[in-house]
């Protein structure tokens, strides 16, 4: 589905979320998918990097959660 929100991290990680309800972590330097963090019904309204290793996700159903972002290898 379409991408709804992006968040960049200092180490080159890129978080993307879309209408499919999945948050994906990419290595922005290589375009390699690193991880899929969360899957839900609905879509993410916003992604915000917190401290370099955590991501704040706001969902279309009003829920907010903090997710751990894996380190790039």
Contact criterion met (CB below 8 Å) for 38 and 24: no
- The reported pLDDT for the residue numbered 59 is 87
Contact criterion met (CB below 8 Å) for 4 and 19: yes
Residue-wise DSSP of 9-53: -TTSEEEEEETTSEEEEEETTTTEEEEEEEE-SS-EEEEEE-SSS
- The reported pLDDT for the residue numbered 46 is 87
Whole-number average pLDDT of the chain: 88
- Percent of the chain with pLDDT strictly greater than 90: 51
pLDDT digits (tens, 9 = 90+) for 7-37: 999 899 999 998 888 899 999 999 999 999 8
What's the order of all strands across the beta sheet hosting 3-8?
Answer: 3-8, 13-18, 22-27, 32-39
- The yes-or-no verdict on residue 54 having pLDDT over 90 is yes
- The reported pLDDT for the residue numbered 32 is 96
CA distance 49 to 25: 12
* Tokens 């948050």 -> residue: 23
């Amino acid at each position: 589905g379409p991408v709804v929100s992006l968040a960049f991290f200092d180490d080159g990680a890129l978080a993307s979320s879309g209408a499919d309800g999945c948050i994906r972590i990419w290595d922005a330097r290589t375009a390699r998918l690193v991880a899929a963090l969360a899957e839900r019904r609905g879509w993410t309204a916003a992604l915000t990097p917190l401290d370099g290793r955590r991501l704040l996700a706001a969902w279309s159903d009003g829920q907010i959660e903090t997710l751990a972002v894996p380190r790039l290898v």
